[in-house]
Chain A
Amino acid sequence: MPTQDDARSLEEQIDQWRTYLRRRQAIHSVDVAELEDHLREQIAVLSDSGLDTDEAFLVAVKRMGDLDALSREFAREHSDRLWKQLVLVSSDSGESRAHAQTEAVVVLCLAVAAAALIKVPALFGIQIGEDAGFYARNLSLFVLPLLTVYFIWKRRLDGRTIAWLGAGFVAAALFANVYPFAPDGSTQTLTALHLPIALWVALVGVAYAGPRWRAPDGRMDFIRFSGELFIYYALIALGGGVLMGLTAMIFRAIGIDIEPVFESWVLPCGAVGAVVIASWLVEAKQSVVENMAPVLTRLFTPLFAAVLVMFVGTVVWTGRGVGIERDVLIAFDLLLVVVLALVLYAISARDQESPPGLFDVLQFVLVVSALAADALALWAIAARITDFGLAPNRVAALGMNVILLVNLARSAVLYLRFLRRRASFAALERWQTAYVPVYAVWATFVVIVFPPVFAYI
């Protein structure tokens, strides 16, 4: 007679067996369900014939055969399954399928809304070609609120968070539009560049992570999401470019110039809609397909490290000074951003428990050489601060440089401690996730304070 305890331990055993089977890539969860049904029936029959539950389980599992061989058979039958596919709406029936379909509809509606939103100003006579400044300042406001709505819907955020997000977007719209910017001025460009950063981190980040925003792992997930979104967006843009190029070519064959339609409709609407679509894809794929950003990081960390070491070596060897032409700081800012991204995405994919390895040494070399290169640039600027001048974009570039420098300097210290086994890797991750709001604060500061201080030039 099976007792309650027997039944519970049987469920546990079946659970373990199921988990073990699910790890096989070639055996999908529906197949596992089918095999489980078989196993349970076999156990029931064996129990009825007098075996106790444990014995019945063991015999049933044995009769099922060697799982490696079974997995191989499945793999031979479905070689496609060794390539993970992104399935947005699964062929399973039931609740999850209905939910996935609702999500697809919501996402499509939001993407269409974003595409429509960017054409609204045109109704009031503000054309993309003529009033580039307006569109540059407001670009993020056409798409990020809708992306935020998606996460509000998906994460079922509470009223207080929604109020904060709404207030944030209203304030952003005000600061982007009430200042009397000089046409083609640098403060306008600075607003156009910094507003998306502020909105991305402070509003989309909060909506994405929800209540987990205060925890390091919530922010780390947002960093992972941002990296994957960037890659998916780039891929969609590439596809869109191919589509537009081909369309233009075949229409030219019948003597119709379709480019004006592209410039005023397809490109802007597609560009904003694709942000929502790409976010949805990243959300759907996160547990299914490997993250791409860490793979690229592994590929490029050694290359960037080698280039930077060579650069610093060349400067020291030849004694050449770093010139302080207009864009030199921006170039070094971009360098630090790339290095920071390499550090971030290496952290995002690293197993915190594993001991220091060769890749960690490479990361350390990368960070230190980037710091050295940046120090050379800053030293050149400090030596001739009067020639450098305090134009708004230079001050902004300098501020950004300092922020990145502080982050990377601390990262280098933490890496060194980790490599010497004086500290855990988690300290580095905590430092990076704790630093995320700094970017938002600086970007907000540039958007709000710079235009009036520099007289809107």
Chain B
Amino acid sequence: MEISKDLTAASSTPLVLAILAEEDSYGYAILQRVRELSEGRLEWTDGMLYPVLHRLGRLGYIEGRWEVAESGRRRKYYRITAQGRLHLDEQRRQWQAVDATLRGIWRTVGLPGPADFTMSTRPLPAGG
């Protein structure tokens, strides 16, 4: 199952903010974490993460800083700001509201709910 472009784009902000709320990170590691969490179902084009990071930076939700990684290369790390945490909270509430609404309607019309999509039953994608 591939998740549609619109949903991928819409979920990118809370996902990136939440990953950065776990710990400071950099582009490649953020993408790895997304793959891990979604078990490969959220497929991002690598490059497109960076405009998203820039947008979040401009809005003041995250901050970037250059550091020298253990590989010896300069690497840009990102950190979530206090404002970013507030926004993440706000986003979480919105997504929960959407989720609750959908769960309600799935139940009413008798379609299977999220319990049938447990992550563990999904095979891990190759190369992820």
Contact = CB atoms under 8 A, between A and B. Distances in A.
Interface size on B, as a range, is 20 to 34
B93 interface: no
B111 interface: no
Nearest to A33: B74
A77 B55 contact: yes
Contacts of B48: 65, 69-70, 73
B48 to A, nearest CB: 6
A52 interface: no
A74 interface: yes
Interface residues of A, number: 25
B45 A65 contact: yes
Interface of A is mostly: helix
A427 to B, nearest CB: 47
Contacts, number: 62
B72 to A, nearest CB: 11
B54 A78 contact: yes
Given A37-B75, A37-B76, A41-B28, A64 B46 contact: yes
B45 A64 contact: yes
A90 to B, nearest CB: 13
A242 interface: no
Interface string B33-66: 0000000000001111011001100100000001
Contacts of B76: 30, 33-34, 37
B27 interface: yes
Interface in A377-394: none
A326 interface: no
A77 B58 contact: yes
Contacts of B107: none
A120 interface: no
B65 to A, nearest CB: 10
B73 interface: yes
Interface in A33-52: 33-35, 37-38, 40-42, 44, 49
Interface in A46-95: 49, 63-67, 69-70, 73-74, 76-78, 93
Nearest to B58: A77
B51 A77 contact: yes
B10 to A, nearest CB: 16
Contacts of B45: 63-66, 69
A31 interface: yes
Nearest to A70: B47
A37 B28 contact: yes
Interface of A: 30-31, 33-35, 37-38, 40-42, 44, 49, 63-67, 69-70, 73-74, 76-78, 93
11 contacts: A31-B54, A34-B76, A37-B69, A37-B73, A37-B76, A44-B71, A49-B127, A65-B47, A73-B48, A78-B54, A93-B66
